[in-house]
Amino acid sequence: MKDHRRLTPRTDHLLADPRIEAAARRLGATITKREIAAAQDRCRAGDLEPEDVTEAVLAGLPATATTMRPVINATGVVVHTNFGRAPLSSAAVDALQVAAGTTDVEFDLDSGGRGQRGRGAMAALAEAVPAAGAVHVVNNGAAALALAARALAADRRVVVARGEMVEIGDGFRIPELLESVGAVIREVGTTNRVRLDDYAKAIDDETGFVLKVHPSNFVVEGFTSSVLLAELATLPVPVVADIGSGLLTPHPRLPDEPNASASLRAGAALVTASGDKLLGGPQCGLLLGKADVVQRLRRHPFARAVRVDKLTLAALEATLTGPPPPVVRAVDAQPDELLHRARVICRRLDDITDARPVPSTAAVGGGGAPGVDLGSAAVSLPPEMAAQLRSGEPAVVGHVVQGRLLLDLVAVPAEYDGVLIDAVRRVVKEREVLT
Ligand SMILES: *Cc1c(COP(=O)(O)O)cnc(C)c1O
């Protein structure tokens, strides 16, 4: 014990090691010194030999300077809020790389003067939805709605159906969000039913707009009725449609999910949506609508408080113009192809563990297409592996169903199958070492 204390290598000695020095340049002094201190503590306590401290520091240093770790989403929920919703396409990742430096996000290289901020992303969005007279992008879906309420209904009324007064997650509710920027909620109808006449009677000089919210995370069944957007558009006030998930055009596998193009054609003055749900892009809020309405929002002082950053603009543009992002590929995945992948993975694991390919049911998740089952397939494993797979690098997160750990493949890009196999093999090897 005494000896270890005396022989523990000093910090400056460790920092002089060329490999640790290189890591310090890459990761910064804070992270490197934290790792050095941890290894020195273990050495002083006698848990690490003095000659092994350098290697322990190197082994403990992270790959990058973020504590966020990569996760393989094998939960069977495509858009998983806890995993940061949509994983970006490789085109969007490349775009982030460019935008990370100094760029012409708000500069015109031809004239040498100021340029329209994020014009590439705006043009791509406008091109994707020709029915929109103008478009704007803010930080997220909630910000889009807040900006609309602030600019169009501050100290005025927003008329909304009681059945559409939804909580969007983590305790946040749309009516409270609208009230927080000064709008007054005028609710109409009952939990299950509302008629055009209910809206018509509620509208007066104080009305800013009628809001139609897509109940994106639940379904009401039975004796229900709601009013179509096209009918609401006959009312003498603007209609704002919060479609939620961000489908820009109809999707054949999600027939009940509203989309921006149809909502605008039905007469919405403004559509709000999230960029990181079914669109499969970065977190942002999309605003599409009549040119004069969008212009009012864009020039409102509050717009500056919800302004989107250059990274988001770059990733959004690449999502819109590039190849289909992972979320879109996951929703379009064919169950028999997924089952084929599960079979191949299991064959490559059957020498070491009880792995079985099984059909499964996946969900869109993340506030999109509630009640829609996506046919999928999974690798079924012994449940004891769950915790170890979560602690690996990358972490693999599945879900336990009826006493088996299912690694659902719907949201795992096919190019990660090898990584998945390696992760399971590593867990089996670790268990062998332990027993
Ligand atoms: C997800 C969602 C929101 C909130 O969007 P964020 O991008 O999470 O801020 C608002 N309305 C609806 C209908 C949604 O589905």
Q: Whose CA is nearest to atom 8 of ligand 1?
A: 141
Q: What is the pTM of this model?
A: 0.94
Rounded to the nearest angstrom, the distance between the alpha carbon of 243 and the centre of ligand 1 is 8
pLDDT at 282: 98
Sign of CA dihedral 8, 11, 14, 19: positive
Give CA angle at 414 (99, 347), nearest 5°. Answer: 155
Rounded Cα–Cα distance for residues 108 and 126 (Å): 20
Residue-by-residue DSSP string for 226-242:
---HHHHTTSSS-EEEE
Indicate the average pLDDT of the chain: 95
Percent with pLDDT over 90 in the chain: 89
Structure tokens at 198: 């209910």
pLDDT at 316: 98
Rounded Cα–Cα distance for residues 31 and 26 (Å): 10
Contacts of residue 180, Cβ cutoff 8 Å, sequence gap at least 6: 146
Q: Is 367 in the pocket of ligand 1 (CB under 6 A)?
A: yes
- Ligand 1: residue of 247, 274, 308 to mutate (most ligand atoms within 8 A of CB) is 274
Q: Is 31 in the pocket of ligand 1 (CB under 6 A)?
A: no
Rounded to the nearest angstrom, the distance between the alpha carbon of 76 and the centre of ligand 1 is 21
Q: Is 139 in the pocket of ligand 1 (CB under 6 A)?
A: no
Q: What is the 3-state secondary structure (H, E, C) of 311-333?
A: HHHHHHHHHHHCCCCHHHHHHHC
Task: Give 273-329 pLDDT, tens digit per residue.
Answer: 999 999 999 999 999 999 999 999 999 999 999 999 999 999 999 999 999 999 999
Q: Is 274 in the pocket of ligand 1 (CB under 6 A)?
A: yes
pLDDT at 1: 52
Question: Residue 373's closest CA among 254, 229, 241?
Answer: 254
* Residues of the chain under the 50 pLDDT cut: none
Rounded Cα–Cα distance for residues 54 and 22 (Å): 13
pLDDT at 369: 78
pLDDT at 216: 78
Rounded to the nearest angstrom, the distance between the alpha carbon of 203 and the centre of ligand 1 is 25
pLDDT at 180: 97
- Ligand 1: residue of 138, 145, 168, 316 to mutate (most ligand atoms within 8 A of CB) is 168
Query: 296, 238 in Cβ contact below 8 A?
Result: no
Rounded Cα–Cα distance for residues 34 and 12 (Å): 13
Task: Give 318-374 pLDDT, tens digit per residue.
Answer: 999 999 999 999 999 999 999 999 999 999 999 999 999 999 999 999 767 778 899
Domains of the chain: 2-60 (no CATH), 71-82+328-434 (3.90.1150.180), 89-323 (3.40.640.10)
- Ligand 1: residue of 216, 217, 278 to mutate (most ligand atoms within 8 A of CB) is 216
Rounded Cα–Cα distance for residues 315 and 121 (Å): 8
Rounded Cα–Cα distance for residues 86 and 140 (Å): 13
Rounded to the nearest angstrom, the distance between the alpha carbon of 367 and the centre of ligand 1 is 7
Q: Whose CA is nearest to atom 15 of ligand 1?
A: 244
Rounded Cα–Cα distance for residues 164 and 188 (Å): 10
Q: Is 140 in the pocket of ligand 1 (CB under 6 A)?
A: yes
Ligand 1 nearest-atom number relative to CA 172? 4
Rounded Cα–Cα distance for residues 120 and 137 (Å): 12
- 395, with CB counted inside 10 A (0-12, 13-18, 19+), is middle
Ligand 1 nearest-atom number relative to CA 213? 13
pLDDT at 430: 87
